[in-house]
Every structure is written in structure tokens, then in C-alpha cells.
Amino acid sequence: MKKITFIGAGSFDFTRELVRDLFTFPAFRDARICLMDIDEQRLVFSRSACEKIKRAGGYPAVIEATTDRRQALEGADGVIITILSAGPEIFRTDIEIPFRFGVDLCVGDTRGPAGIFRFLRTAPVLLEICRDIEKYCPDAYVLNYTNPMALNCRYLQEMTNLKITGLCHSVQHTAKMLADWINTPMDRVSYLCAGINHQAFYLKYEVDGRDAYPLIREAAACSRIYNEEQVRNELFLHLGYYPTESSGHNSEYYPWFRKRKDLLETYCTHSTGWNPGAHAYILNEYFRRTNEWKKDIQDWLSKDQVDLKRGQEYAACIFNALFGDQEPFSFNGNVRNEHYISNLPEGCCVEVPVTVDETGFHVQTVGNMPDHLAMLIHTAASSEELAVRGCIRGDRRLVYYAVLGDPLTGAVLSMEEIRQMVDEMFSANEIYLPQFAGMIE
């Protein structure tokens, strides 16, 4: 009986969908699924959902739930991490402080000032979890879903020797979106995608072995399709390669879309959740979910039918390749750059093709990114490197330098304004970041 542990199992959607996916593999139908969360109420809901899936499929699996991390981890073959560190009120400051200074964010969970401070809060918690993994199941394979993905993975791959990678669904979801735009089934599509999390690009996108970019370019010229992903289509038309991740995310990674109201109205009216004062939309939506999560879960639990078909997340496929039916599987994973992309910083966290089998992870060497893409990605990766070093050393100045290098922030603020903003964000996070002391001098 294989044991698979979920840390942060109160993340209801992720947990129930990933457990459903695990049960689609014969090797895991009798697995021991251990759910762990510090929120007992959410944990009860997640266990109920997993039991419902188990009953619907007639699976002989064992479902356990605990608030004891040691108990959850002991003897685990695989660990999935889906935590959220700190609550919604501190997330509010990630968005509102930059907005007050003039930085109008859209999502704020990946990089830039909001993503960096989310990382600084999350890193110590993730490290505690990983220290327990080292102690209680050191041979386990670890899959991280917690954002900011690249920063968290880079930090953990620096601070631990665990077999860990990070998963994000933007690569496979975007590949499917493009296939739909050109009316092509996915079994005819092949692609090479590389970069860093949320800033990767399809270096090749082919149908039956032939370049499909002319078809995608033709589709993007249609106003209906262009408006589905305004920012991403604009990036594609100018850069020549299609980016992963949504327009909302991409709009805040570059200096071209959110620094003026007229640009917001031109590029961010569709597909980014923009309205006058995007920060208000973000927070309203975030708090709506926070306030309505219980009703949403109860609605799902009350339904008679359970969809048992495998979804698009890759965790179950990866575990199946490693210690299940051992069918090799390929995906884009977040790994430490060891010459995999030669014109990005060595050691930074890159998102590149990985094949997994019973012997472990095998990372594909991509070589050079196109120079103009490498230029853009290098800036973000270098900012992340500074943030990680600042986190490890407790050095405010390195964090300031990391935010200083953020393209959107630099397009809007002076260096002194950025310093003041970073100091204010440190003050707001003081109880979560005791390793940082004093103001930036």
C-alpha cells in the first residue's frame, strides 16, 4: 500500500481533484491517502470529499486526516504541498501598499513586490515542512503547488536535498487553449516550452510535426480570440513566441501594460479582471472566495454525481511513473538551472521539460533561449535570486534590490519611492518576518 500525503489538504479543490486523479491509476486504488492541515474544519471537509470519491469509485483506499504533521509524513512515498501561509488580511497589504504608491497589480502572487513578500512569509513555513520530510520520509518525492512557485522551489532546492519539483498547470492549459484556437486535437500537438514559472514560452508548437505558429498567428488576428487573451496575444505578436500563464498574470510581469490608465484600458479590459482600480477587484474576489468557501464546498458535497475522470493536473501521473504502475511521463517542472537553459542564471529556478520514470527525474537540456526572450526572463530570474538570498540572510537590502529590479515597479516608481514602499511592506509583515530587522539605510 503506497502512502501519499497532502500537506495543506484544506485546499479543497486541489485535494479532491488530485485524489480523484490518483485513483484513476490501478496502483493507487488501494493507496493510503493522508490529509494534513492546521485548519480542522477545512480538513473535515476535504476528508468528506475524498471519502465521497472513494465510495463513488468503489476504491479500497484508506483515507486518513490529521493535524499532526509527523503522523502524516511518517513513511510517505509521495508528498504534495498546497499551503497558504498567513491569512487574507496580510495579503491585502501585498496589494494595497503597492497600489498606494502607484503599482497597480492584477494577481500579486508570483513576483514583483507582492509576490516577493508572499514568498518571504511562506519560505520559513515550507522549510519547516521540508525539515520534517527529511526526518520522517527522506526518500519521498515532493511536489510543490504553493505560490510563488519559482521563488519557493528555488529556496527549497537551495536549503534541502529533497527530491522536489514544483508544478504549475499553465503550460498544459495554454497548450490546450492554443490547440482549441486552431481546431486541433491535443494528440496531434507536440511542443517545447521553457523559461521560468509563469514566464515560459513555447519555443516550438507543432501539429503532426509541422510548425503551427502560422495557424496560431492567424487565429490571434481574429478580434474574438485576441480579446480572450489581450496581453498574451500582444506579447506573442511582438515577441514571436507564445507565453504561458494568463494575461492577468503576464500584465504585471512587464513594464508595458499596467503603468498608465490608458494602457490598462487598452490591454487589460478583457482577460485580466481589470476594472478602475484593479487592486479592488483582486481583493473583492479574494475575500469573496474566503467568505463563501464553506458554501461552495457544501454545494459540491451535496451533489449526487461525482466526476471520476482524470483532470489536467500532473501530480498523479508523476507519482504513477515514480512508484505506481511506473509508466514514464513527461511534463514541465520547476528545477534548479544546471546548464539546462544556458543563457539564464546558473542555479536559478527554471521551468523546463522533465521526464520521470521509476529511476527519478530526468531534466531535458534546452540550450539557449532566443536572446530577446532571455533578456526579459533574465531580469525576473535575477530579481528572484536576490529575493532568495535576502530571505536566507535576513537582509532587507537584498529584498529591496529584488523589488527594484521588477519591471512594472521600476516603470512607475523612483528608487526612493521603491525604498519607502519596501520599508512599509516590511512593517506590515513584521510579525511574519522576525529575521529582518531595522529599516533600509
Q: In which band, very low, low, confident or very high, does the pLDDT at 271 lie, cut at 50, 70 and 90? A: low
Give the span between the Cα atoms of 267 and 248, in whole angstroms.
Answer: 10
Give the span between the Cα atoms of 169 and 172, in whole angstroms.
Answer: 6
Provide mean pLDDT across the span 122-143: 98
Q: Shortest CA distance to 440 belongs to which of 410, 412, 407, 398?
A: 398
**In Å, what is the CA distance from 369 to each residue of 204, 339, 350, 373, 374?**
12, 12, 12, 6, 6
Residue position matching grid coordinates 465521497: 52
Provide mean pLDDT across the span 279-285: 64
Q: In which band, very low, low, confident or very high, does the pLDDT at 277 lie, cut at 50, 70 and 90? A: low
**pLDDT at res. 270:** 72
**pLDDT at res. 283:** 66
3-state secondary structure the chain: CCEEEEECCCCHHHHHHHHHHHHCCHHHCCCEEEEECCCHHHHHHHHHHHHHHHHHHCCCCEEEEECCHHHHHCCCCEEEECCCCCCHHHHHHHHHHHHHHCCCCCCCCCCHHHHHHHHHHHHHHHHHHHHHHHHHCCCCEEEECCCCHHHHHHHHHHHCCCEEEECCCHHHHHHHHHHHHCCCCHHHEEEEEEEECCEEEEEEEEECCEECHHHHHHHHCCHHHHHHCHHHHHHHHHHCCCECCCHHHHHCCCCCCCCCHHHHHHHCCCCCCCCCCHHHHHHHHHHHHHHHHHHHHHHHHHCCCCCCCCCCCCHHHHHHHHHCCCCCEEEEEEEECCCCECCCCCCCEEEEEEEEECCEEEECCCECCCHHHHHHHHHHHHHHHHHHHHHHHCCHHHHHHHHHCCHHHHHHCCHHHHHHHHHHHHHHCCCCCCCCCCCCC
Q: Which three three-digit cell numbers place residue 33?
A: 491517502
Sequence letter at residue 441: E
Provide mean pLDDT across the span 115-120: 98
Q: Shortest CA distance to 32 belongs to which of 84, 70, 79?
A: 79
Provide mean pLDDT across the span 250-263: 94
369 or 272: which leads in pLDDT: 369
**pLDDT at res. 284:** 67
Give the span between the Cα atoms of 138 and 297, in whole angstroms.
Answer: 34
**pLDDT at res. 329:** 97
**pLDDT at res. 332:** 98
**Is residue 169 annotated as part of the catalytic site, yes or no?**
yes
pLDDT in tens, 12-54: 889 999 999 999 999 999 999 999 999 999 999 999 999 999 9
Burial degree of 382 (CB within 10 A; 0-12, 13-18, 19+): middle
pLDDT in tens, 373-421: 999 999 999 999 999 999 999 999 999 999 999 999 999 999 999 999 9
Q: Domain 3-166+301-321: give its CATH architecture.
A: 3-Layer(aba) Sandwich (3.40)
Q: In which band, very low, low, confident or very high, does the pLDDT at 281 lie, cut at 50, 70 and 90? A: low
- Pairing status of strand 32-36 against strand 3-7: parallel
Helix 88-101, helix 112-136: angle, nearest 10: 150
> Does 205 have pLDDT greater than 50?
yes
**pLDDT at res. 272:** 66
pLDDT in tens, 43-83: 999 999 999 999 999 999 999 999 999 999 999 999 999 99
Provide mean pLDDT across the span 208-230: 96
Provide mean pLDDT across the span 214-227: 96
Sequence letter at residue 351: E
Give the span between the Cα atoms of 334 and 363, in whole angstroms.
Answer: 10
Burial degree of 439 (CB within 10 A; 0-12, 13-18, 19+): exposed
- Pairing status of strand 199-207 against strand 349-357: unpaired
pLDDT in tens, 347-368: 999 999 999 999 999 999 999 9
> Does 173 have pLDDT greater than 70?
yes
**pLDDT at res. 300:** 87
Q: What is the CA radius of gyration of the chain?
A: 21
Give the span between the Cα atoms of 49 and 66, in whole angstroms.
Answer: 15
- Which ranges in the chain are annotated with CATH 3.40.50.720? 3-166+301-321
**Is the dihedral angle over the CA atoms 86, 92, 95, 101 positive or is it negative?**
negative
Q: In which band, very low, low, confident or very high, does the pLDDT at 276 lie, cut at 50, 70 and 90? A: very low
Give the span between the Cα atoms of 282 and 285, in whole angstroms.
Answer: 5
- pLDDT, the chain, mean: 94
Helix 396-404, helix 415-428: angle, nearest 10: 130
